[in-house]
Chain A
Amino acid sequence: MSRGTSFPAVCLVPGEASGPLALLTHPLSLWGGFDPHTGRVTDENHPQCGLQIGGRVLLMPGGRGSSSSSSVLLESARLQAHPSAIVLVEPDPILVVGALVAADLYDVHIPVVSVAAAVLARFEGAAEARVDARPGHARVGFL
């Protein structure tokens, strides 16, 4: 994929981030599936168990399971082990709220956007991604 190519997205939580990406093929519940200290996936039933998502642009089909995932996202923000941005196919209000509170409480900005399923597939094999999320105008692209 060529540098600079980008795709339309829907802004859920505004912000900008770029850097290495972590692509999950299946939805992940941050609670019970992610360690906010290390930033790694810990759900043994998840195909990407062990993958580092802290400090990465996280791309995944959606959230899953526990309503505690907002708290786990906030705790990872406090510990500076949070994903730098979250790109979802299925918008997840639980992650949206975690990101909003992280901004309010710790001034940690985790942009959250949603994209079409086909867009997620375009990032297979890519190393880095960029998220630019402003209300009414958001894009996800390659660096």
Chain B
Amino acid sequence: MVRLEAIDKALLSGEFGGSAQRAMDLLLRYGEVLGAECFIDIVSAHIDSCLYHGASGLDFVRSLLDDHRQVRVPTTLNVAAFDLDHPERSDVPAETFAIQQEMVKGYLELGCLPTMTCAPYQRSRRPGLGQHVAWAESNAIVFANSVLGARTDRYGDFTDICAALTGRVPLAGLHCGQNRHATLIIEVPSPGRCRMERDLYFASVGYLLGEHAASRVAAIVGAPGDSTEDELKALGAAAASSGAVALFHLVGVTPEAADLDEAMGGRSTSPEHCVISASEVRGVPRRLCAAREGAPVAAMCVGTPHFSLDEFRRLAGMVAGRHAAPGVRVLVSTSREVRAEAEVAPWFEAIDAFGIEIIMDTCTYLLPARMPAAGVVVTNSAKWAHYAPATIDRRPVLMSLERCVRCAEKGEVVG
């Protein structure tokens, strides 16, 4: 039995309105399944339920709109199925268009912020070490837990908005300190030993992490001590695609893993220890998506998860003075907020001049962007490469950002 505090009972009895009541009722059943002892407060929520998957998403949000009540904590929205201001950039079926617009409207009526990003951790306001949040979107979950040290369980659609409407979540899973310790050690070679560009290295290591760890918490040793947030973002997103990783510790880098002992919670039992070879890391891009040199390139899609300002700056440096080949679409996905910052930067002109189109509010693997039917899509995102064959039926090739740019410039896969 879950122990209820006064606030929980008030929510359940309808004192905060009918939608909060139904939300609390769902969370209570969910908490019982998880074996939670009690509920706790959260400081923010991130909603994935706003993404179109069919008419059921609209039925669901409408079921919460009847009493004009709003969320009880600051709440951000994940991506939509297309760029809300520029739907013509993707092939948006009429039904998807109408339902998605209505769904976003519904979540805004509930008081959510129209951030439309899968990377809410790139906003200036973000949770800190030890703060409890209810975040959905697999890459945001793993980033919040691992890189920020905030505490969120692996929330799915529906629980996210229920948590936002009540401000409460069951004390379970990764909200509990004892579940945050690593139960396996993964030893990885350095990027130098793999002879890989760093972005491709982190994407590949993340993909292997997901395969080895499944849903377990792993402590990674051997990765660079100067790993950046963007690199950890790529690693986590890949691990949450190939596996169900919601938290990893990069020993010496992430906030709950100053050393291996802290990452393991001082546990004396010998955990599983797995050593990954350089050839395994190098094998990931080939395994995910092999492409022969000279194959025509239809598009370059990066920004999965959403591009950060730093990534834009790095890309601008690479593309300065160059142009994409005619007919190749170069798409960078990001949030409205990051785009607004990038646009006023002195280096932004180079981004424009290369022929880069910035896609906001969405991800390019959700709906087919208008691009040549023939040809592969180059990307540096393992998450994009993992999902795109099934979601938009495109053939991806995973490579470093630097090589993506050269492929886009030449219009074909180059070595």
Contacts and interface: CB of A to CB of B under 8 A. Distances in A.
Interface stretch (B12-20, B45-53, B190-198, B271-279): B45-53
- With most chain A CB atoms within 10 A of its CB, the pick from B51, B154, B387 is B387
Contacts of A104: 22, 26, 63
Nearest to B365: A32
Contacts of B242: 65
Interface residues of B, number: 43
Interface stretch (A51-59, A72-80, A124-132): A72-80
Contact of B53 (A12, A75, A90): A75
A104 B143 CA distance: 32
Contact of A65 (B55, B138, B155): B138
Contacts of A94: 154-157
Interface in A76-134: 77-79, 90-98, 100-101, 104-106
A75 B57 contact: yes
Interface stretch (B28-36, B320-328, B332-340, B342-350): B28-36
A28 to B, nearest CB: 11
B63 A67 contact: no
Nearest to A44: B389
A67 B138 contact: yes
B410 interface: no
Contacts of A29: 241
A124 to B, nearest CB: 20
A45 interface: yes
B265 interface: no
Interface residues of A, number: 42
B48 A62 contact: no
Given A67-B138, A93-B33, A105-B63, 13 more contacts: A27-B243, A64-B244, A65-B241, A71-B48, A71-B53, A71-B158, A75-B57, A78-B59, A97-B159, A98-B156, A101-B158, A104-B22, A105-B56
9 contacts: A42-B390, A65-B138, A67-B155, A68-B157, A71-B56, A74-B157, A75-B55, A93-B173, A97-B158
B398 to A, nearest CB: 13
A63 interface: yes
A75 B33 contact: no
B308 to A, nearest CB: 21
- With most chain A CB atoms within 10 A of its CB, the pick from B59, B156, B157, B387 is B156
Contacts, number: 128
Contacts of B53: 31, 36, 68, 71-72, 74-75
B54 A79 contact: yes
Q: Chain B's interface: helix, strand, loop or mixed, by majority?
A: helix
B244 A68 contact: no
Interface of A: 12-13, 27, 29, 31-33, 36, 42-45, 62-72, 74-75, 77-79, 90-98, 100-101, 104-106
Nearest to B156: A94
Contacts of B386: 32, 45
A111 to B, nearest CB: 12
Given A67-B48, A67-B141, A68-B48, A93 B156 contact: yes
A13 to B, nearest CB: 7
A11 B54 CA distance: 28
Contacts of B54: 36, 71, 75, 78-79
A69 B137 CA distance: 10
Given A32-B391, A66-B138, A67-B154, A105 B214 contact: no
A107 B391 CA distance: 28
A68 B288 CA distance: 22
A24 to B, nearest CB: 14
Given A71-B53, A75-B56, A93-B30, A98 B244 contact: no
